[in-house]
Structure 1
Amino acid sequence: MPHTRTRPALPLVAAAALVGSVLALGAPGRAGAAVPDTVPLQITNNSGRSEPVYVYDLGTQLSSGQQGWADAGGAFHAWPAGGNPPTPAPDASIAGPTPGQSTTIRIPKFSGRIYFSYGQKLDFRLTTGGLVQPAVQNPSDPNRNILFNWSEYTLNDSGLWLNSTQVDMFSAPYAVGVQRADGSVSTTGHLKSAGYTGFFNDLRAQGGGWAGLIQTRSDGTVLRALSPLYGVETGALPANVMDDYINRVWQKYAATTLTVSPFADQPGTKYSGRVSGDVMNFTDSSGTVVTSFQKPDADSVFGCHKLLDAPNDNVRGPISRTLCAGFNRSTLLVDSNQPDTTPADFYRDAVTNQYARAVHAQMTDGKAYAFAFDDVGNQESLVNDGNPQQAYLTLDPLS
């Protein structure tokens, strides 16, 4: 399940990001599939916070390709035309559950996001290119001082894919779940007891600029930690934070071969990587060079993009995904056969994605979406079912 990121890193007025491009999930729809047009989503407020909760279901309607929102009953509403500068979007908020209570809405066949905010409605705008997503790495974003988060989902004729994500930020905690036809329920995304504060304490203790990812409100409320990608982009995290590890990887594979087997179901498909200068060349079994990577920087590593771009193909993309996971988890010096899917090997180097390490460390099941290709080795926090009876979103304590 590839996780692609919507990247609203530009200032608000320029960041027209298409909701629903965040997840490229699921197989193509099957004609005549039994998945209903809407599925109930039960939202439970176990946050312990007293403020009102506002919920939004925003995305792309799969049957039409239109962007819009769904109301509590699952009815689709297309966004009106936007402007430049961006114009206010219609109020798509749904009243969320009060503390200790649950609210059930219906979610339609979308690829999109379920947002929730505490105490204040989110400020959504529309440009001529579509919806502008909140971009809290931008100091002038109107949502910067709001405590909020989102889950990503795709519901189509093949079923439901619903995740908890920390790819862009770690903030108000929540878990997701799905009830199957046999009545069983799968859940993921719950933090350990005191895991929320534990995560922030861990970042503060790291040194090296990692504490700079944390954003607080003027009243002292901790709002979130930005992903390290946004940390590098905004200068909150030093741009050279991964250089030592990247240099050691390049040095090793100038003299050793890196073997990448990107498909778990195709163990015979292997690519061999060797470094020559600033380039790592990958060859197939015949010795033909099939793709090459320039020596990456932290931006490319944390974002799994730019010098580690991963197109949706059968060669470069899968190799890049594997490299991205190896760099973020710091497993490329542990094992010259990648991907390394043994969690005990992850994040052991002193130079690593400390944000991702801290997120995974606080999850009850160890699963998280702490960077874009955290699904390499099935480490992602995702529930999926081809015949979902009900979905769940649980707002967990901020403690």
Structure 2
Amino acid sequence: MSRRVPTRFGTLPVWVSALLLALGMTALAPEASARSAVPNTIPLKFTNNSGRGDQIYIYTLGTLLSTGQQGWVDAAGTFHAWPAGGNPPTPAPDASIAGPASGQSLTIRIPKISGRVYFSYGQKLDFRLTTGGLVQPAVQNPSDPNHNILFNWSEFTLDDSGLYINSTQVDMFSAPYAVGVQGADGTVKSAGHLKPGGYRGVLNALRAQPGGWAGLIQTRSDGTVLRALAPGHGIEAGALSGTVMDDYINRVWQKYTSSTLTVTPFADQPNTKYYGRVSGDVMNFTNGSGAVVTSFQKPDSDSVFGCYKRLDAPNDQVRGPISRTLCAGFNRSTLLTNPNQPDTSDAGFYTDAVTNHYARAIHAQMADGKAYAFAFDDVGQHESLVHDGNPQQASITLETFD
């Protein structure tokens, strides 16, 4: 699956683990989980407010948490393990569910899995299986069989601690949608809603941004805009220069050659601090005793956008939290204006001329300002995620392309 998507089909997805770490939390203890009594399946209400006439196809795919098996889920919430794949990849079973027409809703069920709900417009997605499991669509690859299909996906985990569900733009900005969860008291929490005109607003902002950012937009031969690639995928596809962030990276490296970057990665542990100084092409981080705890090679633009390679973030208590903080600071261009990170106020985000303009455009058009425009957009709680420990119903709502 995509190296930039925050969800991984595992016991606890990386984006949930990262969020818990950012909040200074850990997974619920077994006794707390038992008290929550989350049922084995919950309803997911899928509403089509897109205003389009295309047939919608829905897919629920992921890893069954009780066994670790990968597979798909039917409309009744029954999990089906994938059959063995091949090399070259073999077609996967048709896991599609016919979705509702515009203005209508369909309720399906989801079990305790960590995975994705895909939805496509007008055409079924082409999923394949290798000996290693499911092949996810690679939107940056023009030869991918799904390249010319309008589609998108949400990511979720339903487990004993409840439901986590997000809207994501980590790989691409495409067909607009919002997610929600209804709690036991009837309260509904939602995320991912665009402002009126927000879909076109994101695309227009990219078109107007000098430096190749318009090249992220991919259009089908009939004129349909399919998606805007995330910048890391844009670099991979040759649509955006691999040096687009270099000027900012160089300025950061120069600044912290003679000053100190202080990282306080855990919200509930204000006394846990790490101190970064640059020596040559390496930024070394020390703890309060002056011992070096981790070091980072000077990143390139792709490392920044993908929060990987030279900014790899293992799911540990030291390097991962520091790397997530650096990644957020680079993408939001706050490392020069604030030597104390993370910068949790969005007032100074994306103000440098060299920044992640894709993330800037998306956040500017969200109704609440929150999005998953890069993998660690949850640093400072700026992500489009909802959670409830006793979920009664999940929801995905397709929105208009205005």
Gaps of 5+ in 2: 18-26
What is the CA distance between 1:21 and its match in structure 2?
8.0
Whole-Å Cα distance in 2 between the matches of residues 332 and 312 of structure 1? 23
Kept after mapping to 2: 8 A contact 1:18/1:132: no
Kept after mapping to 1: 8 A contact 2:263/2:340: yes
Code of the aligned partner of 1:134: P
Q: Report the equivalent of 1:213.
A: 216
Equivalent runs, 1:257-268 vs 2, <5 Å? 257-268=260-271
1:352 counterpart SS class:
coil
1:290 counterpart SS class:
strand
Whole-Å Cα distance in 1 between the matches of residues 54 and 10 of structure 2? 28
Equivalent runs, 1:178-327 vs 2, <5 Å? 178-327=181-330
Mapped pair 1:85 → 2:88: yes
What is the CA distance between 1:199 and its match in structure 2?
0.5
2:258 counterpart SS class:
coil
CA RMSD of aligned residues (A): 1.6
Code of the aligned partner of 1:139: P
Equivalent runs, 1:29-48 vs 2, <5 Å? 30-31=33-34, 33-48=36-51
> 1:21–1:126: structure 2 CA closer, same or farther, 3 Å change rule?
farther
Kept after mapping to 2: 8 A contact 1:325/1:374: yes
Whole-Å Cα distance in 2 between the matches of residues 225 and 198 of structure 1? 12
2:257 counterpart SS class:
coil
Alpha-carbon deviations, 1:293-338, whole Å to 9, x = none?
Answer: 1111001000000000111111111100000000000000110000
Q: Report the equivalent of 1:14.
A: none
What is the CA distance between 1:32 and its match in structure 2?
5.8
Q: Report the equivalent of 2:370.
A: 367
Corresponding pairs, count: 388
Q: Report the equivalent of 1:165.
A: 168
Out of 334, 341, 344, the residue aligned to residue 344 of structure 2 is: 341
Kept after mapping to 1: 8 A contact 2:36/2:390: no
Code of the aligned partner of 1:23: P
Whole-Å Cα distance in 1 between the matches of residues 238 and 282 of structure 2? 27
Code of the aligned partner of 2:326: L
> 1:18–1:156: structure 2 CA closer, same or farther, 3 Å change rule?
closer
2:119 counterpart SS class:
strand
Mapped pair 1:388 → 2:388: no
TM-score (norm 1): 0.95
Q: Report the equivalent of 1:23.
A: 13
Q: Report the equivalent of 2:3.
A: 7
Kept after mapping to 2: 8 A contact 1:23/1:152: no
Q: Report the equivalent of 1:12.
A: none
Whole-Å Cα distance in 2 between the matches of residues 22 and 239 of structure 1? 32
Q: Report the equivalent of 1:378.
A: 381
Q: Report the equivalent of 1:13.
A: none
Whole-Å Cα distance in 1 between the matches of residues 62 and 237 of structure 2? 27
Percent identity, aligned pairs only, is: 76
Mapped pair 1:124 → 2:117: no
Q: Report the equivalent of 2:21.
A: none
Code of the aligned partner of 1:47: S
Code of the aligned partner of 1:315: V
Alpha-carbon deviations, 1:159-216, whole Å to 9, x = none?
Answer: 0000000000000010000101111101110101111111000001001011111100
What is the CA distance between 1:155 and its match in structure 2?
0.1
Whole-Å Cα distance in 1 between the matches of residues 13 and 88 of structure 2? 27
Whole-Å Cα distance in 2 between the matches of residues 165 and 174 of structure 1? 10
What is the CA distance between 1:33 and its match in structure 2?
4.0
1:131 counterpart SS class:
strand
What is the CA distance between 1:235 and its match in structure 2?
1.4
Whole-Å Cα distance in 1 between the matches of residues 297 and 123 of structure 2? 45
Whole-Å Cα distance in 1 between the matches of residues 12 and 232 of structure 2? 16
Mapped pair 1:57 → 2:47: no
Whole-Å Cα distance in 2 between the matches of residues 106 and 84 of structure 1? 32
Code of the aligned partner of 1:244: D
Code of the aligned partner of 1:286: S
Whole-Å Cα distance in 2 between the matches of residues 32 and 85 of structure 1? 46
Q: Report the equivalent of 2:180.
A: 177
TM-score (norm 2): 0.94
Whole-Å Cα distance in 2 between the matches of residues 129 and 155 of structure 1? 24
Whole-Å Cα distance in 2 between the matches of residues 21 and 303 of structure 1? 22
Whole-Å Cα distance in 2 between the matches of residues 325 and 18 of structure 1? 20
Equivalent runs, 1:134-145 vs 2, <5 Å? 134-145=137-148
Runs (4+) of structure 1 exceeding 4 A deviation are 17-22
Kept after mapping to 1: 8 A contact 2:4/2:375: no
